[in-house]
Amino acid sequence: MKLGIDPVHFGIIMVVNMEVGMCHPPVGLNLYVASGITKMGITELTIAVWPWLLAMLGFLGVVTYWPAMSTWFPTMLGMM
């Protein structure tokens, strides 16, 4: 908070970053779980995940550089 970063905004950025990391090769744990469930290879699954990964990266950029988007709902609920 001393740096002027809203804790809710920072938390949302961290959660979205963690989800991108969990779906991103080479160490994405979600890829290994999905590979085990679907019986697909990691390479084949990685190719199938790219559109979703790009969407998550786009959302991460929007949330990071537009803080009002991530703080609007908590503000409307009166939590902030």
Rounded-to-integer distance, Cα 28 and Cα 63, Å: 22
Q: Residues near 38 by Cβ (< 8 Å), separated by ≥ 6?
A: 45
Give the orientation angle of helix 7-22 with respect to helix 67-76, to 10 degrees.
Answer: 120
Average pLDDT for the chain: 85
Q: Where are the domains positioned within the chain? A: 7-76
pLDDT of 76 reads 84
pLDDT in tens, 49-62: 889 889 999 999 99
Q: Indicate the pTM of the whole model.
A: 0.73
pLDDT higher than threshold 70 for residue 80: no
Rounded-to-integer distance, Cα 29 and Cα 35, Å: 10
pLDDT in tens, 12-47: 899 999 888 888 777 788 888 888 998 988 888 888
